Amino acid sequence: MRGRAISCRRKRIADALTSGPTNMRYSFSLFAAALGLVLCAGDAVMAQTSPRPPTKRELMRQDSEECAKQVPRLYVEPFADCVFKRQAARKAAAKQEKAARRAQRKQEADAARQARREQNRKQIEQIKADRVKRAECSKQARAQKLPLGQRPNFIASCMGK
């Protein structure tokens, strides 16, 4: 009798876990937890792939720390010169990089402009060749003394050849 009661209890527990609104609640919470993990993992990946450039304050602090390693802060003028030289070097590098990007953009624009000119030249040549062909077909239609109503069809068929 006792064994039968245990098996009935187990059956009731199993039924409660697999049916009814509680099962829906568990599946929803499982789905919500999985979605939360995916979103957190996606944010972590995005944080790793898009680092922001350091601010001016952070750059100044880095310069100050590096110069403090080289020159004691008590010597104000050499320390200030060191910081100024580092800033000037960074500005010169940024200016050079900007000039390189500008030159690259100019080169790309020139290449695109040249490609457009070449394409336009080919189109103009094609249009001129079509005009010559149309004139030749028109001369043939006149030579054959076709009526004016039939000439457009003849010219179209002649141009297609």
Task: Give residue-wise pLDDT tens across range 6-16.
Answer: 566 666 665 65
What's the domain count of the chain? 2
Per-residue model confidence (pLDDT) at position 137: 93
Same domain, 80 and 127: yes
Same domain, 130 and 64: yes
Which stretch of 49-63, 82-96, 147-161 has the lowest confidence by average pLDDT?
49-63
Same domain, 20 and 88: no
Per-residue model confidence (pLDDT) at position 42: 59
The string of pLDDT tens digits covering residues 107-121 is: 999 999 999 999 999
Pure H helices in the chain: 2-18, 21-49, 56-70, 76-143, 151-160
Which stretch of 39-48, 73-82, 94-103 has the lowest confidence by average pLDDT?
39-48
33 pLDDT more than 60: yes
The string of pLDDT tens digits covering residues 124-140 is: 999 999 999 999 999 99
Same domain, 13 and 65: no
Host domain of residue 107: 55-135
pTM for the model stands at: 0.45
Same domain, 45 and 20: yes
Tokens at residue 65, please? 């720390």
Same domain, 95 and 130: yes
Same domain, 36 and 60: no
Q: Per-residue confidence at 123, pLDDT binned at 50, 70, 90?
A: very high
Residue 67: Cβ-neighbour burial (10 angstroms; 0-12, 13-18, 19+): buried
21 pLDDT more than 90: no
Per-residue model confidence (pLDDT) at position 75: 84
